[in-house]
Structure 1
Amino acid sequence: MKKKYLGLVMAGIMAASLTACGGSQPAEETTVAETTETTEAASEEQATQIANPWRDCTEEEAAAAVPNCFSAPEGVTNVHWSIMENDPAEYALSPLVQLQFDYNGTTITAREQGTTGEEYTDISGMYYDWTVVDDATLANWADGNMPAKISAYAGENEMAHKCEWFDIETGYSYCVSATAKDLDGLDIQAIAEQMYDYSKKEAAKMPD
């Protein structure tokens, strides 16, 4: 009888031990899952805290922020103005103004910003191994004597064109650019020339 009693006790102890061991695994899995969820939530919260430096603005706000501002050519569509008021770039001396519009089915991006130095600074935000880089002279700007640089890239799946120049009188850099699968026939220099607006020139704002 005693042996039978001891056997029952030992069986009970082993069953309890197995139950304890079996119950520990889900607790560990729950802890790992909770840690993962907490990490993901923290990452999402951090991402939402990174503010977009760009904000939408009116054409009037853009013209007030930079001198000799450009205008969209006649007949274009989807005109959109925006501004980055606190550009962290080391070369930035003013807000960065941006104009985007659709020209014959291609989105054009134009930018203007006060920059350091005495020549144009690349404010395009484009990073291509340019296939062709040529010097040019823009009509309209600086009475038709504005030196400019025209860059073009042709890849297997994408093309890019860029026209950039520097207004030595104001210290502001300009850039007009486009990217698309096919830019054959697009004259980025001609678009830049069409964007000149004498009414926004500083001299035009002075009283007679």
Structure 2
Amino acid sequence: MAKKDNRLTTELAEPQSKRKSGGLLKFFTWIVLPIMTVVAVLLVVATLMNTNVFDLGKKAIGSLPFVPSEEQQAKDAVVNNDSKMVKLQAEMQEKEAEIAQLQKKLETTITEKDKLATEKEQLQFEIEKLNREQDQVKRDFTDILSTFDKMSPKAAAPVLIKMSDTEALRILTNLKPDKLAAILEKMSPQDAAKYTEMMTKQ
């Protein structure tokens, strides 16, 4: 009984697989093989006639209305290249304008820097000149002070009274206390009081 069942299932399964393989076999036999045979024959004939099948194929494809021809592709490429060139030239001009502006700024900065350096040199020269003059004035004042220090109080008092109050006060404040006291003794009481009051306010 079991053997009978196995035979039935195998018999049922065989026709289905035969049907499937039979349909595929028919498709290859009736459609694919004839097409391949025709193509092979055409290629052999074209080779014997010295005809390039691939060039003919390109021409046929190029003549189709929805496929652009090589001339049209070349024209499109030229138009694209022209638009790219125009764009690149515009960018180049912008960059050149930026470079010109930066160059101008750089030149202005260099000019200002040179001007500031010149002004700095002039100011440095004037400072040195003023320092020399100040040193000279200090030396002169030291000489004058030394002279007054050597003078007798009787001779120094009338000279100080004849000088401007500022100069006299400057000399009196830099004298030694004993020399100052001796000179003030030789002045009139009004002049001595005036100079003493001025020295206390300093």
Q: TM-score range by the shorter chain?
A: 0.3 to 0.5
> Which structure has the highest helix share of the two?
2
Bigger radius of gyration, 1 or 2? 2
Structure with bigger RCO (C-alpha 8 Å, 6+ apart): 1
